[in-house]
Structure 1
Amino acid sequence: MNFHSHQNQLVATAVGASVATACLISAYSAYSRRERRKQLTEEISRSLSTHKSSLDVNSYTSNTSTPPTTYQSDEFSGKYDEELIREQLARNYAFFGDDGMDKVRRGKVVVVGCGGVGSWAAVMLVRSGISRIRLVDFDYVTLSSLNRHATATLTDVGTPKVRCIERILKKISRWVEVDARVDIWRKEEGGDLLEGADWVIDAIDNITTKVDLLKYCHDHKIKSTRIQISDISSTIYDPLARSVRRRLRSQGVSSGIPVVYSTEVPGDVKLLPLPEEEFQKGAVKELGVFDDFRVRILPVLGPLPSIFGLYVATYILCELAGKPILNPLPIKNRKKLYERLLRDLLHREMKLTGETINKLPIDEDDVSLIFEDVHRGRSVIPPHNVPSRPVLVRWDIVKPLTVDNCVVMEFGEAEKHYKESGSREDPLKRPEDIWSCEVKHVVNRRAEELRREREWVM
């Protein structure tokens, strides 16, 4: 490249200016986040100082003869007596036996995300004999954390979540080794925080980071788990599990990750759609988590995260002790159904096109996506019953067969659909003329959901 050329000099100047601008923007964003965190901490401190406890040392007057209690240090050095350890864990030894408890005590667990789920999992793991545990979370305790966090108290507000968990764990178990990291897990340097782990607990509430962590654990053969327990491929009804499953599938991971999830169908109490007042408060994206800061919060019923955390702890303890819970109640387990649906669709496509087709443009994973996630195992035709003989159908025969142009019907409905649609070369009726505009709106809405999902995942 000729750097004496005027044009090349202009290009180099433009590139340099762009790099400098990007650096300034990044630095300003980091500064802004630090300032917002500082303001939040100051607001919390002011709030606490306004509502001091009657037991605060400053509330004692000169007439008070009894000074406030001074607590002993939680620090412990030296070897803890083995007899005392076995006495403390006596019920666990009775449950798992000596060999099982030896495995539990030698196990190392990393908890990524130390909020309402991760904190309870950490506490119960240590109470049950885990001797080495690493806690990873960038977040700080706020007043709103107190309705669900396992260890946080008012005095912990404004402190890192991992530190308040660490303090309690050392009060519970004198021999436990706690490695508390005020940090955020990133896939670029993820191996450092997961080094030596037998199990990793994913208790993150950011889906992008959650998927990156699970993909990393899957690729590096690290066991990870996230009030049902099953493989990620067998989850159903749970919206978070569905989103994670789709994104993992797009990255080549379709199974092999045990998951704690809920099969409860959403009732009247929902996080979505958001009420209008949430939009009036500002940008709704602030309800999510930034790299190292949370601006706004979503509602959560305090006991629920603890249930998930305790379930995770139980599963890992049984695995470490060599007495695993045998994948209880696999909800879907429909591999043969997917194979049949795909085979039937292949025959229908050959009949429709009049050509021999060796392979369809969709596979079994796509069949699972269409049947379970998009159409929830129900016919697209009102009243959307669960079909006794489900069939996958190309919705618009004029358009190519794709994931968003494929719907679920009952066998009889499919026969009617193909008969009245005609052929690609000589179509008789549009699908909305066969069924109704209402059905067309349902299909279009679900196709749009799929497109948004793809854009989000990719």
Structure 2
Amino acid sequence: MSMPNSLLMDFTTPDLDRRFSGLDRLYGAGAWQSISQHHVVVAGIGGVGSWCAEALARSGIGHLTLVDLDHIAESNINRQVHALGSTLGASKVAVMAARVRDINPACQITEVDDFVDAGNIQSILADHPPGVLIDCTDQVPAKIAMILQARTSAWPMLCCGGAGGKTDPLSLRAGDLSEAAHDALLGRIRQTLRQQHGYPKGGATGGKPRQRVPRMKVQCLWFEQPVRLPEAWTAAAPQGLSCAGYGSSVTVTATMGLAAANWALERCLAG
């Protein structure tokens, strides 16, 4: 039996106040309207970045820039929110953008169908007023390029460490790059920044041990847990630092992605 027209709800026009009113009840009146005025760039729309973008969309972010050149593969389904049987082979950026529009039609979306590198990061950020940059990539050169660009710009940045080979989501830590432990990806970045880009070094100075390792002023997330190697690697050299090489779990990638989104939201709400 069909319902009278007077009882049918109108879902054709989104009620944004109703969709995001939970944020106002949590953070205070006007919170989601404040968030809606901010811009976040998410670089790397994979196991961590897809969950980060999803959380930002569900928090009413006003402008999202999504950066990735990759396409969805069947091996992504165990850990990436946009990876479904129906999206296999599609652009990660395009599929994520469609999800965001379905969640928050008012969100402005910039799709960058490219990998981040030293040659394009300045132009990616230069097209917009300063916002927040979330690095969810798993390649050292891309992460270095973003860190260096963020240092010379007004963009607060969060660098996400490796999620592959990790099993304990409760081991997630946040802090300065100088403090990160049990993360080979962040370890390589730290070494490169110190050796090639003048970032402060740890260890001894002037023949005397440092009382405290100097901060590098690069905010990071990492899982402080020894990596679990695949059995096939016990007799061979590791194949890489990404989830494509290590084993992976959605409980870990999603935890880091949601924490990264929260970091961005805190900065949006702070001003």
From the superposition, tell whether residues 95 and 288 of structure 1 become closer, same or farther in structure 2 (CA, over 3 Å): closer
Question: Which of the residues 82, 94, 99 maps onto 1:151?
Answer: 82
From the superposition, tell whether residues 221 and 144 of structure 1 become closer, same or farther in structure 2 (CA, over 3 Å): same
Taking structure 1 as the reference length, the TM-score comes to: 0.47
One-letter amino acid matched to 2:28: G
- Aligned residue for 2:178, secondary structure, equals helix
Take 1:209 and 1:109, find their aligned partners in 2: how far apart are those partners? 17
Structure 1 partner of 2:140: 207
- C-alpha displacement at 1:221, in angstroms? 3.1
| Contact 2:58 2:104 (8 Å CA) reproduced | yes
Q: Map 1:83-94 onto structure 2 (within 5 A).
A: 84-94=15-25
Structure 1 partner of 2:27: 96
Take 1:138 and 1:111, find their aligned partners in 2: how far apart are those partners? 13
Take 2:231 and 2:199, find their aligned partners in 1: how far apart are those partners? 28
- C-alpha displacement at 1:151, in angstroms? 1.6
Between structure 1 and structure 2, the one with the greater Rg is: 1
- Aligned residue for 2:119, secondary structure, equals helix
Take 1:165 and 1:131, find their aligned partners in 2: how far apart are those partners? 15
| Contact 1:215 1:253 (8 Å CA) reproduced | no
* RMSD value, Cα: 2.6
Question: In the alignment, does 2:263 pair up with 1:320?
Answer: no
| Contact 2:229 2:247 (8 Å CA) reproduced | no
Structure 1 partner of 2:218: 257
Structure 2 partner of 1:115: 46
Take 1:240 and 1:223, find their aligned partners in 2: how far apart are those partners? 20
More strand by share: 2
One-letter amino acid matched to 1:253: Y
| Contact 2:229 2:246 (8 Å CA) reproduced | no
* Structure showing greater relative contact order (alpha-carbon pairs closer than 8 Å, 6 or more residues apart): 2
- Aligned residue for 2:56, secondary structure, equals helix
Q: Map 1:50-449 onto structure 2 (within 5 A).
A: 84-195=15-126, 196=128, 197-226=130-159, 227-250=172-195, 251-254=197-200, 255-264=216-225, 266=226, 269-270=228-229, 274-276=233-235, 287=240, 297-322=245-270
| Large movers: runs of 4+ above 6 Å | none
Give the unaligned 5+ runs of structure 1: 1-75, 324-458
Take 1:214 and 1:149, find their aligned partners in 2: how far apart are those partners? 25
From the superposition, tell whether residues 199 and 235 of structure 1 become closer, same or farther in structure 2 (CA, over 3 Å): same
Give the unaligned 5+ runs of structure 2: 1-11, 160-171, 201-215
| Contact 1:100 1:322 (8 Å CA) reproduced | no
- The 10-residue stretch of structure 1 (130-139 or 299-308) with the greater mean CA deviation from structure 2: 299-308
More helix by share: 1
| Contact 1:111 1:118 (8 Å CA) reproduced | yes
Q: Can you list the C-alpha shifts for 1:280-336, whole angstroms capped at 9, x where unaligned?
A: xxxx76x578xxxx9x7442123211110000011111121019xxxxxxxxxxxxx
| Contact 2:39 2:61 (8 Å CA) reproduced | yes
One-letter amino acid matched to 1:199: V
Taking structure 2 as the reference length, the TM-score comes to: 0.77
Q: Can you list the C-alpha shifts for 1:391-448, whole angstroms capped at 9, x where unaligned?
A: xxxxxxxxxxxxxxxxxxxxxxxxxxxxxxxxxxxxxxxxxxxxxxxxxxxxxxxxxx
Q: Can you list the C-alpha shifts for 1:25-54, whole angstroms capped at 9, x where unaligned?
A: xxxxxxxxxxxxxxxxxxxxxxxxxxxxxx
| Contact 2:135 2:158 (8 Å CA) reproduced | yes
Identity %: 21
